[in-house]
Amino acid sequence: MGDKQKAVLNEGQENEMEMFGYRTVGCQKALCLAGSILSLGVLPLVFYWRPAWYVWANCVPCSLQEADTVLLRTTDEFQTYSWKKVTWVHLSTLSSTFGLTPGHPLITDEDSIINRAIQKPDLKVLNPFYIFQLFSVCLWFSEDYKEYALAIILMSIISISLTVYDLRQQSVKLHRLVEAHNSITVSVCERKSGVRQLESRFLVPGDLLILTGNKVQMPCDAILIDGNCVVDEGMLTGESIPVTKTPLPKTDSPLPWKTQSEADYKRHILFCGTEVIQTKAACSRMVRAVVVQTGFNTAKGDLVRSILYPKPMSFKLYRDAIRFLLCLVGTATIGMVYTLCVYVLSGESPEDVVKKALDVITIAVPPALPAALTTGIIYAQRRLKKRGIFCISPQRINVCGQLNLVCFDKTGTLTCDGLDLWGVVPCDRNGFQEVHSFASGKALPWGPLCAAMASCHSLILLDDTIQGDPLDLKMFEATTWEMAASEDDFHLKGVPAHAVVVKPRKSARQAPVEGIAILHQFPFSSALQRMTVIVQEMGGDRLAFMKGAPERVASFCQPETVPASFISELQIYTARGFRVIALAYKKLEADHHTSALTREKVECELVFLGLLILENRLKEETKPVLEELISARIRTVMITGDNLQTAVTVARKSGMVSESQKVILIEADETTGPSSASISWKLLEEKKHIACGNQDNYINIREEVYDNGTEGSYHFALDGKSFQVINRYFSSLLPKILINGTIFARMSPGQKSSLVEEFQKLDYFVGMCGDGANDCGALKMAHVGISLSEQEASVASPFTSKTPNIECVSHLIKEGRAALVTSFCMFKYMALYSMIQYVGVLLLYWETNSLSNYQFLFQDLAITTLIGVTMNLNGAYPKLVPFRPAGRLISPPLLLSVILNILLSLAMHIVGFVLVQKQPWYSMELHSVCTVQYQNASKLTISPTTPQKTGANGSYASFENTTVWFLGTINCIIVALVFSKGKPFRQPTYTNYIFVLVVIIQLGVCLFILFADIPDLYGRLDLLCTPTLWRVYIVVMLSSNFLVSLFVEEAVIENRALWMAIKRCFGYRSKSQYRVWQRNLANDSSWPPLNQVSYSDMPGCGRAVSYSNPVFESNEEQL
């Protein structure tokens, strides 16, 4: 660190932070201490909420070497601050105490506990909301408002108890999840004492594990160094297919072990929480692995941390809520000043003046607003759980309501997991031969192709059942061979113990070999798009077989063995939506030991064998869901590792690309000429082609000029290689391509993540739906990641669906929209409720009067609390509409709705307040206003012109009080009815039976109190008896307010056509990046270019005009 004042921690990782050095100054610290005492503890609270202020107030900047305090700031859009005291640990102390040298791994390892800062958990009780609630309760007790204070305490206790219970349930589940791998016994190999048994919780990095037997839970992250393992990683990735793990290659390279692996280093790691379902020993007769991570640093620890501390979302709804609360605080401040003026001029005691002024804050700022905003999310989460959709980050449910682009993996997501083997196309030096169809029941003749299908796979034999990838399973079953573990007689013939052996069934003796032993596997990798096995024929040759993407396999073959018609033949089948796999082989020298053969030596100079054709059907739910999303104007994008033309066909069959829309193929290549790279644009057109006796479609490249003005819309299709070249050399074109890019094929896991990030930089709200381990990065990168998995929680994504189809996507969007609208409804209602009380109380303050405790209690508990609990129970509307709800609280329609309803309530209260004073009976005694039978009520009240305290609660009974209370109480119910939104995002209000019942009962009770004339009830509520005609006037005023409010809400606020017309009138245009690019491209007659080849050194295509991606921040501007 040296003399630098700033450093970066965990650079390039998800938890990257900036660190600044500070030195404490004694005099500044003393001043802060004095301020804390004088402010009665308010200053420490402010410093707790704003850690950076604490450091800036107490310290001065200095170099990190001199610092005794460091200020940490996250590098994401939140810029969250925290601070730590610096503690120096001298290596000499460690050396003398523990015998550690400066080069010891514990000290040099950046991830060791000595080099990691441990963050203290936040004290939730010091949240500003709880502090404000505590202040309110203390104030109410001081005013003898015990009932509501006790009610708030009781509600808080119930709320906290439910929260604690819920947290306890989650904690127990998490504890079981964690404890499952802490309570097992493992075998550890030590230098001196040899192999000994050890409890897994005592493992430390560097321990050498001995893996024996099957069905072993991994208690840590470990690197496999000897033998092979088959692992179930479903708990982490959602991938139900067993994964084969291979040992780390033994090389003398000084490079870190992660970089020594050709493709994915994770294929050598046994992750904590996964289950080793089978082990296969190699030469050492033992399967060994070295511990690299334990505890929370493991993959399972990452899952637990992601559940405990989900990544925060940059969603402006919550920031807007805080801003509006501050506006309410400002309004309350105005009310405080007004209250001080009125009560000081009326000669009230200073104590009463202060209490009344502070009361205004608790009335104007509803303490329950932050909690009310989350109730919609809680109900939505419960409804999702009933549908088998689990969530580890509930705050993202609201974000689901803003999704306008969803990316889908193809295989297993849009199409079925199971594949049907359609046929195989063998080839020889004369080219491709006739298709061998397995539907006829005729067995494939013996030869290298049959041997490849029987042995080139990662299937395992577990409990006498063959398990593995469905593709491998279908291919192996087609050979009619059987699988067995090697026995003693096989071992004598040179086959290692526990090797997988495949052999022809006794009923089919067409093969001249007794069997084939699989000696070594180079497992399939999404990045490499291939797998290779080394096998030994019993009494025959040692061979290597390769299986994978046709283009990749062909590149490793001898050119003369690849038929000249390879491209056209491949195009025939991929265009029909088939999944095509190529097979190749070579003979190996038998004297080489398999462990000494590297992948590079094996995968070269192969002989091309032919194509395997598999039928991959769409899931039944795929097309309807995609059609629903497209009709709702939500973009759908396919990101797959499969062949490009297969992807195009699936996109057409699924409706992602309609029949009237064109597909433009983009191909980009790095060149060796004067330019660095080239990019070409070609139109793909469907033409009829007769193949294998059936008339079907295939894709051809059209050379004519395409007029996008007459042909309709278009979609871009490209593969991972082209995407990478464009990203590097044609960055100025990337956003233009992404605006209409729909099909991305042959994408590696890293490219999938990169593509999702690029979409986010265009201000799209991106969802990603996938089912496998190769989608994990993209699932975590997206705003909303949905994993199709049997597990309830997965580290891969915030949402996990147990139903293995994409229906969960539309359900999530519907529930997200419903939760978002519910949050807005509750926000508006709580704001209006507080403003209704605020207006009423300030009017009564004018007469130095107020509402009684029981009047407050009735409004707060019997009305508002019940409405707040039941108003949010509306389910999601079953149909997706082609527009999204507002994503911000500070949006013109919502603000206008709140302001207009506040003005309506204000006008109604003022009218009632003024009119009641002008009534002819206003100056009479109470018994002259009511009927004779209620004359005994006169002793409860006297003339309203000379108000006097009655009862122990110290409130005033007056005609103004009675009028204002009835207007405010019933208006709270009216506002709930007006703001309870139904279509188009939620179910109609009348379907919320509990809410409707509650409102009917509340209205009935209020009208009963209004017209009942029960002296004891009126006395308890501090109400005065008024003439029946005046009560009718109150009902008329409330009815008028309801009708006007309903008209304004329906005809103005919810009138989408009106707001669109206003936007057009004022020339408003969305500032979202994708909208800006869409407008620019719509006016560009030269876009898209067709039948052109551009080079990276041409003007407009190079890096000189590169598109600079800004740091992403969600822009929730409306459509």
Give the range among 68-82, 192-206, 484-498, 684-698 with minimum mean pLDDT.
684-698
Pairing of strands 714-719, 662-670: parallel
What's the pLDDT tens digit per position in 976-1029? 999 988 888 889 988 999 999 999 999 999 999 998 888 888 888 888 888 889
**Average pLDDT in the 873-889 region?**
86
The answer to whether 546 and 540 are in contact (CB under 8 A) is no
Q: Is the pLDDT of residue 360 over 60?
A: yes
- At residue 1102 the predicted structure's pLDDT band, cuts being 50, 70 and 90, is very low
Residue 296 has pLDDT above 90, yes or no: no
Please give, one letter per residue, the 3-state secondary structure of 558-606.
CHHHCCCCHHHHHHHHHCCCEEEEEEEEEEECCCCCHHHCCHHHHCCCE
Q: Is the pLDDT of residue 315 over 60?
A: no
**Taking residues 889-905, what's their average pLDDT?**
88
Q: How confident is the model at residue 649 (pLDDT cuts 50, 70, 90)?
A: confident
Identify the band that residue 972 occupies on the pLDDT scale cut at 50, 70 and 90.
Answer: very high
Residue 372: which of 1000, 859, 867 has the closest Cα?
A: 867
Task: Answer whether residue 6 shows pLDDT above 70.
Answer: yes
Q: What is the mean pLDDT of residues 26-33?
A: 89
pLDDT digits (tens, 9 = 90+) for 232-252: 776 665 555 677 787 877 766
> Residue 50's pLDDT is what?
85
Find the mean pLDDT for residues 658-670.
86
**pLDDT value, residue 297:** 77
**What is the average pLDDT score of the chain?**
77
Tokens coding 976: 């709930």
Average pLDDT rounded to a whole number, residues 395-419: 83
Residue 1113's Cβ-count burial label (10 Å; 0-12, 13-18, 19+) is exposed
Mean pLDDT on 803-819 = 90
The more confidently predicted of residues 97 and 1090 is: 1090
H-only helix segments in 224-274: 234-237, 257-260
- Percent of the chain clearing pLDDT 90 (strictly above): 12
Confidence of residue 712 (pLDDT cuts 50, 70, 90): very low
Band of the pLDDT at 177, cuts 50, 70, 90? low
With CA atoms as reference, report the closest residue to 302 among 723, 776, 673, 655: 776
Report whether pLDDT(946) > 50: no
- At residue 39, the pLDDT reads 80
Q: Which residue has the higher pLDDT, 690 or 799?
A: 799
Give catalytic residues, as residue numbers: 409
Q: At a CB cut-off of 8 Å and minimum separation 6, what does 657 contact? A: 648, 651, 663, 715, 742, 743
In Å, the largest CA–CA distance within the chain is: 119
Q: What pLDDT is attached to residue 997?
A: 95
Write down the pLDDT at residue 642. 77
The SS3 assignment for 890 reads coil
Assign 945 a pLDDT band (cuts: 50, 70, 90).
very low
More reliable by pLDDT, 1113 or 439:
439
CA 975 from chain center: how many Å? 34
Where is pLDDT greater, at 252 or 705?
252
Strands 69-74 and 500-504 turn out to be: unpaired
pLDDT at 320: 75
Residue 714: which of 727, 726, 702, 728 has the closest Cα? 702
The more confident residue out of 914 and 94 is: 914
Whole-model pTM over 0.85: no
How far apart, in Å, are the Cα atoms of 956 and each of 358, 425, 921, 944, 1110? 19, 95, 19, 9, 61
Residue pointed to by tokens 């508002």: 864
Measured distance CA(297)–CA(761) in Å, rounded: 30
pLDDT of residue 1025: 86
Closest by alpha carbon to 630, among 411, 813, 831, 786? 813
| 123 or 169, which is more confident | 169
Res. 1092: pLDDT tops 70: yes
Position 407: which residue type?
A: C
User: 658: closest CA among 713, 695, 698?
Assistant: 713
Q: Where are the beta strands (DSSP E) in 486-577?
A: 500-504, 516-525, 530-537, 542-548
Distances (CA, A) of 301 to 6, 307, 795, 978: 30, 10, 9, 48
- Mean pLDDT lowest for which of 576-580, 843-847, 1112-1116? 1112-1116
Q: Is residue 760 over pLDDT 70?
A: yes
Which pLDDT score is estimated for 262?
55
Contacts of 127 (CB under 8 A, 6+ apart): none
Residues above pLDDT 70, as percent of the chain: 77
Better pLDDT: 1105 or 178: 178
Report the 10 Å Cβ neighbour count for 818.
27
Report the number of secondary-structure helices (H) and strands (E) in the chain: 38, 39
Determine contact, residues 784/400, Cβ cutoff 8 Å.
yes
pLDDT value, residue 1117: 34
- C-alpha to C-alpha distance for 451 and 1072, rounded to whole angstroms: 56
The answer on pLDDT for 107 being more than 50 is no
Q: Is the separation of the CB atoms in 824 and 889 below 8 Å?
A: yes
- Per residue in 507-548, pLDDT tens? 655 667 778 888 888 877 766 778 888 888 877 788 889 998
**Higher-scoring residue by pLDDT: 398, 249:** 398
Residue 274 has pLDDT above 50, yes or no: yes
Section 284-299 average pLDDT: 80
pLDDT tens, residue by residue, 60-98:
988 888 888 888 888 776 678 888 888 766 555 545 444
Phi, psi of 474 (to 5 degrees): -65, -40
pLDDT digits (tens, 9 = 90+) for 598-627: 778 888 888 898 888 888 788 888 899 999
The mean per-residue pLDDT over the stretch 561-567 comes to 86
Q: Is the model's pLDDT at 814 over the cut of 70?
A: yes
Nearest-angstrom CA–CA distance, 436 and 133: 77
